[in-house]
Structure 1
Amino acid sequence: MALLKSLIWFVLSLALFLPTANADEQKPQLILEQKADKARIDFLQVEQLQLDKARKAAKETVEREEKVSGTLQTNEWEEQQKIKAKKQFDEMESREQKYLREAKDAVAKERKIIPKP
């Protein structure tokens, strides 16, 4: 009978201890799973934030490049216009010089052709 009592106590204590031990083991596992899930979520949020920052930086870079490119094209156009204006001015000056030279030659020839006695 004593053996039976001790066996019953042993079985009862095991029955009480095992579910408690199992619950204690499950609780840390749930906590670890929750931490892992939170870490995954945090990682995805950080990754998304970094992607957004990279997209924004790329967009700003493209905008700056377009602005600089537009400025360079404007400067090239201005330079072309200056060259064109200088060429036209030189041609006009050359024509004026030609007309003056022809006028001087004509005046000199008229004097030589018609001498006054």
Structure 2
Amino acid sequence: MCLAAVLPAVNAAEQPKPRLTLEQRADKARIDSERIEQLQLEKARQAAKTTSAREETIKQQTNPQDWEVQQKLKAQKQFDERESREQKYLQEAKEAAAKERKIPKP
């Protein structure tokens, strides 16, 4: 009983909310939606600007010609190593062929 007496007093102390019609609610929702959409578009534009600026600085820092030169030097070094290895194996094969082999007699 005590609780029932307190609840109406609490409700009376609050200010009544203005009741909006369905059309007013729809208008308010539409306005809120447009405002949120504009905020999101602005954030996306700002993010795109920062991303493109970051990409540009990275492009300027890395020089593709340096990378190409490094790759060519690396490939040339590997080719030279492979060629010297082949020459070594050929030389060993020639020396082995030139040796006289003693075949044990049974």
TM-score category by the smaller chain? Answer: 0.3 to 0.5
More helix by proportion, 1 or 2?
A: 1
Which one has the largest radius of gyration? 1
TM-score norm. by structure 2 comes to 0.41
